[in-house]
Structure 1
Amino acid sequence: MTARETRDTRKLVDLEELVAWAIRDQKAHRDNTALHAVESAAHMSMRSRRGGRADGYAFAGGWGMDSCARIAAIGNIGTRIDGGGPTRGVAPRMHPDAEEVTTAMGRLPWRQRGLIIEFGSIGEAPPWSNGKQRLVRVPVSEIIRGPLRHKVLAEWVGVMTRFQFANWRRARGLPIVDRYGRSIVTDDVGIEFRYLEDGQRQAKVKHCPLQFDPSDEWIERTNGVYATWHAGMTALLDSMAGLALKDHRISGFAAQAEPWL
């Protein structure tokens, strides 16, 4: 046998690409949607070609073509039966490599499996945050009408009276009138003042409260989702190690565990 004849012609793919192909293109994660619990266990027994026990029921290694589980399995993969077409979006011919992916996924914790399916269906990794934040104005509630879409807070701040301000300028040798003889000691236009019972004066000062965007909670939650997804994909890679896929070879899993670092 020549080297050309022994050359592996299977497609070399990253695990993330293989999962996206199996979930988004092959819809392999929907392969068991038509089966009941007992039928699904029988279906898995037939697929693995060995006896098994699931939910307390034992199954033999082979099943008759007239069994309910076999009929459900045939219908579930989309084979044309009595005029029926593809079942629930499952491809008429499920690729065996896609089945291997979802079989291995079935051994993962539900949270990891759910995230792999969610992001595999769009062919992307989960978003993550590098922790960078910026200060933005705090928005108002969506039920509040009006053109102003951020909060404005006001508070009373103690300020000098005009008499106190004039004395303060005199003590420092500063004029209290400009070169045209107009008094400098006047209230600023647009500022609201009030006097307290003890004669102290206060000015109403408005400001916009600020907050960090994105928030610390959002960053922690987003990176937590990514970490769970990455852990699931790593476990999936380990679970599929040694499998002889038909048309694919897994080159590895290139996504970083903590890209924000």
Structure 2
Amino acid sequence: MPRLTPSLTFAALLGAATPAFAASEGARIEGTWMAIGDMLGVLPGHIEVLTIAGDRATSVTWRAPAGDCGAQPAAPGCVLPIPTASGAFRGNSFEIGIEPDGANASPFAGEEVAPLWPLLALDGAPWTLFRQDGRLMTTREATIAETTIPMIRLWLQVDPALPGALYDYLVTFDLDIARALCPVSTLHADPQAWEALSATLIAAAPVLEGQRIAVSGLAPPPAAAESEAAEAFALLADLAAEDAEPPEGVTLLPGLPWPASQAMADAAQDCLDRAFGG
């Protein structure tokens, strides 16, 4: 059964109460936008990235492999990212969507959950749009298990190099992708904290990618990387192992071992409690 979370509660627990989001009249929605989720517990956790440039848009998805990539290198999730939509961008102050160039892919092709992907696909029905600075909240209704519920996606504006590095990091350290939505969205609300995490993940990206590939069974662990990447990865590894002692007044975020204030940790935990039951 899916998790059914009322839309107003869901928006609030993400740290963005609905009244704070406004129709983005006159604002251009360009750049790279990242969404993390599992569609109310129905789909595997994944990261989708929407890139908008003028009147064109593309979407790609990072998701866990469906099987052993060493035995089935062509299995869904073994080659990343997965192209999921491309076409003309259709957007105004209240709605967004993609008018596809042709038949687009599903990141869950060949799996039992594949028929559910269109409920979130950007090339489906238009999404109602609300915007708050570097965040978008998109909503539309869908029917799951004979129940009509509001589908919600929270999109965070990010550096184009960040989503792949974040995915590799979550897989490398065996962190829950869907639950990462709470600590990630909490950090994103603080520009200084977000910049620190983004810079570290992007710096460590060469090592993280190699580790993720090795975890998938496609290649042996990577050779030694350049010093900056190795140092950034070592920091992430120490934090994940809780070997690094945070400064006084700082704690590690639940679901994402990254130093933050106690207030941010409490906000992330509150989100996890309400969205995932703890």
Judge same fold: TM > 0.5, yes or no: no
Normalising to structure 1: TM-score of the pair? 0.25
**Bigger radius of gyration among the two:** 1
Q: Select the structure that is richer in strand.
A: 2
